[in-house]
Structure 1
């Protein structure tokens, strides 16, 4: 495949060759050209460029590596193959998280104080002396790695590469945070460690790593004493889940209440934009805790091997812009069937009686 040497494809080829040859001067010039030419890149250049840049990420010096990862993510957002780009970006993300954990620990051990706010440059000598270079770069570039990784995690195939999330049962340990299996679990554990060491919470990355796909969900509608089995995929937060639940149950004619308009549902699936909507339920955990719309479906407790959610009448009127937490991620919620009365009763026996909600 031949690209114009003056365009993004040529810059990718130059950068790739310079990095492999460990030619610092040449790679520095090509690095600048990558950024200068990306905005004018054509579809073919982006499709080819993303995977090629991802393949050499590990060899790129630590400072510019995160910027190249962001370019890879941008290529994916414009059509490059996310699966081919994922290994390099996710490996770099893990390294950055490990560095950020070490940074927080070293910062505390050398006197503490307010954490430095990363800028567009590199960490200064004083910071490097306190924490070490690798730790400082990890902290300095963490937001860039979050941007790159979330772009890839919008794709279900990339999320599948990280392995399934293991879940714990019971109201005191119901989310996948710190409980996931495989690479997904390791990244979540590192995220938790970063927050503990520095107070830095990467909410977008955390939510993206916790997105559930093809996940069964039992929903009990307390006002009508009915139950339903649904299956969810690609839902970023409970605002999105709330609207899709209202569409499936109220819009489907199964329970009474306000059904969202078609456009409100569309923006929660794959249509761009946001549309004002209104709450139809109170989302409640089996033990009686309120499940806030600001949370994610991963926070719905697991009971007897399946996530269990209770719907009560809304305690107050609430409106918000319906849409997707991750605009590039397709969301879906499928109603598989209504539960038989005997099944519903068995599930209701596992939940606390209606009462004052706990927070």
Structure 2
């Protein structure tokens, strides 16, 4: 059904129609498992996504759950940034979120914050994301693309070290930045 809607949005999108919001809404993943592998630490996590409409939002909540939860090193996001990624509505101020990771597909290709969590490839039945150190500093306006849709990301379990190592061994190192920008 989602594929049909997206095809119709693309076919009829133009000067008379604004389907961007509907197209993003059709791509929202609800109650979707997400396997996250952190290459620098060799650790792995099974999480569950609800209502995530954009990868900026996912990036923020990954940092909150994994860094804020004490699983990965780094700087925890500001609580206001996290609230805007979950349920809070923005006011007139510009609140800035800062990137903590480089989001990479298991094949080494970069996953851009401008995309959606539906861009994350499914491997062995679960969307699988690899975290690498950020190659440069990134920041963006905190919040959600779809303000009406609350979002959440929950940690379900930490993978045992052997399972994380096995899954990481099947991934490819990230493409160099100069290749990713092509």
> CA separation in 2, counterparts of 1:253 and 1:184?
37
TM-score (norm 1): 0.46
TM-score (norm 2): 0.89
Which whole-Å deviations, capped at 9, do the CAs of 1:129-170 have from their partners, x for residues lacking one?
xxxxxxxxxxxxxxxxxxxxxxxxxxxxxxxxxxxxxxxxxx
Counterpart of 2:52? 235
Which whole-Å deviations, capped at 9, do the CAs of 1:148-199 have from their partners, x for residues lacking one?
xxxxxxxxxxxxxxxxxxxxxxxxxxxxxxxxxxx3332122223346x99x
> CA separation in 2, counterparts of 1:261 and 1:341?
30
Counterpart of 2:168? 348
Which whole-Å deviations, capped at 9, do the CAs of 1:199-252 have from their partners, x for residues lacking one?
x88322211101000000000111111110000010110100000000000000
RMSD: 1.8
- The structure number with the bigger radius of gyration is 1
> CA separation in 2, counterparts of 1:204 and 1:287?
29
1:270 and 2:90 are equivalent in the alignment: no
More strand by share: 2
Check whether the contact 2:35–2:46 (CA below 8 A) recurs between aligned residues: yes
Match of residue 338, structure 1, among 139, 144, 158: 158
> CA separation in 2, counterparts of 1:233 and 1:354?
27
Counterpart of 1:188? 6
1:301 and 2:146 are equivalent in the alignment: no
> What does 1:208-287 correspond to in 2, within 5 Å?
208-273=25-90, 275-287=95-107
> CA separation in 1, counterparts of 2:32 and 2:96?
27
Check whether the contact 2:101–2:132 (CA below 8 A) recurs between aligned residues: yes
> CA separation in 2, counterparts of 1:201 and 1:283?
29
> CA separation in 2, counterparts of 1:249 and 1:225?
13
> CA separation in 2, counterparts of 1:348 and 1:339?
11
> What does 1:60-71 correspond to in 2, within 5 Å?
none
Aligned residues: 175
> CA separation in 2, counterparts of 1:230 and 1:251?
14
> CA separation in 1, counterparts of 2:112 and 2:51?
18
> CA separation in 1, counterparts of 2:130 and 2:20?
25
> CA separation in 1, counterparts of 2:85 and 2:33?
19
**Quick one: higher RCO (CA 8 Å, sep 6+), 1 or 2?**
2
> CA separation in 2, counterparts of 1:258 and 1:271?
21
> What does 1:1-359 correspond to in 2, within 5 Å?
183-194=1-12, 202-273=19-90, 275-357=95-177, 358-359=179-180
Structure 1 residue ranges (4+ consecutive) displaced by more than 4 angstroms after TM superposition: none
